[in-house]
Amino acid sequence: MMTQQTLIPGVAGILDETRRWMRPAMQDAADRLHPGPRQISGFTFGWREADGTPRDGDGGKGVRPALAGLAAAAAGGRPEDAAPGAVAVEFVHAFSLVHDDIMDGDELRRHRQTAWKAYGIGAAVLAGDGLLALALDTLARSGNAEAVTRLTGVLVELVNGQAADSAFEDRAWSGPQAVTVDEYIAMAVGKTASLLGCAASVGWILGGGDAAGAGLMDRMGRHLGLAFQAVDDVLGIWGDPAVTGKAVHNDLRQGKKSLPVVAALSAGTAGLADLLAGRPDDPARALRAADLIEKAGGRRFTADLAEQELAAALAIIDEIGGGATPGLRAVAEYVVRRLA
């Protein structure tokens, strides 16, 4: 798992086609912002350098918009029909990252400075607020009340998930106050998985699909989102810095209670809690912590969870059926078997 060097066949074409209709829609929406927040949003999506110079960025992996477009096609519409929902979901995601980076003090994302590092905290907060406002406005302009309701409901989940994640930082590393695996999974569903579920379900709705199908798409996306987070958690400790853009053992150095860590601690690994409590900045200590986590089964547990959630998502995709099934399966498998 997670050793594949190329995209799963078909995914590259799907992502490229999605960008064809997504980028103009995103730029049209972003153009409604004041020049200051607009420049920061362009920087956040990789369209511009910090000084405003245009660059050929693609705004990230594009999994959520691809899911939205494929869901619209599965419902009988065109991928482009999902554009208002896909744009809204991407703007919500970008808003959450801009604010998360401020909260976490992260200075790098995707090999570049984060928005607050490049422009200052106040300007980044305002840009994040602008992206959230645009997300709601863009989807509202579609005139689809059910789609808007799904997005606003997920926003509440997203905030609650982020609040839980932040609260984990103050929890003990061991003992009765330690974060449990179930608590972590609930947090990840709110913070990450709910947004993939929203992308798929809103895409289905905008493609003309019914409420029952939207519910299935939401479940599929949530399974996939949990797999996505599990993969990120493995990469956050053992990922290649040349690919992830972050230092090796980055999550350990930052004291994050990610799923491999929580699973290993729940096994009662001797000495691990004390080692992690000091945030092992020293490379040798970080390596020792990573080895203990792996020996305790934390890495394997997280990888297995990713595979289980992928299997659940694929089962729903097969249940829905239709011409978009191969594309949905390809994107789902890419989420779990990507490198970063």
- The 3-state DSSP composition of the chain as helix, strand, coil percent (nearest 5) reads 70, 0, 25
| Domain membership flag for residue 6 | no
CA distance 137 to 84: 9
329 CA to centre of own chain = 18
| Domain membership flag for residue 156 | yes
pTM of the model as a whole = 0.93
| Domain membership flag for residue 18 | yes
| Domain membership flag for residue 5 | no
% residues pLDDT > 90 (the chain): 79
Written as six digits, the tokens of 218 are: 């939401």
Q: Which of the four pLDDT bands, split at 50, 70 and 90, describes residue 57? A: low
Tokens 């970063």 — which residue? 340
| Domain membership flag for residue 315 | yes
**Tens-digit pLDDT profile for residues 84-111:** 999 999 999 999 999 999 998 889 887 7
Q: Mean of the per-residue pLDDT values for the chain? A: 92
**Strands (E) located in the chain:** 108-109, 112-113
Enclosing domain of residue 160: 11-337
**Tens-digit pLDDT profile for residues 165-191:** 999 999 999 999 999 999 999 999 999
- Residue 306's domain is classified under what CATH number? 1.10.600.10
Q: What is the mean pLDDT of residues 290-313?
A: 96
| Domain membership flag for residue 2 | no
| Domain membership flag for residue 201 | yes
Question: Shortest CA distance to 327 belongs to which of 7, 58, 4?
Answer: 7
CA distance 331 to 73: 14
| Domain membership flag for residue 205 | yes
Instruction: Quote the number of domains for the chain.
Output: 1
Q: Which of the four pLDDT bands, split at 50, 70 and 90, describes residue 280? A: confident
Which of 12-21, 94-103, 247-256, 289-298 is predicted least confidently? Answer: 247-256
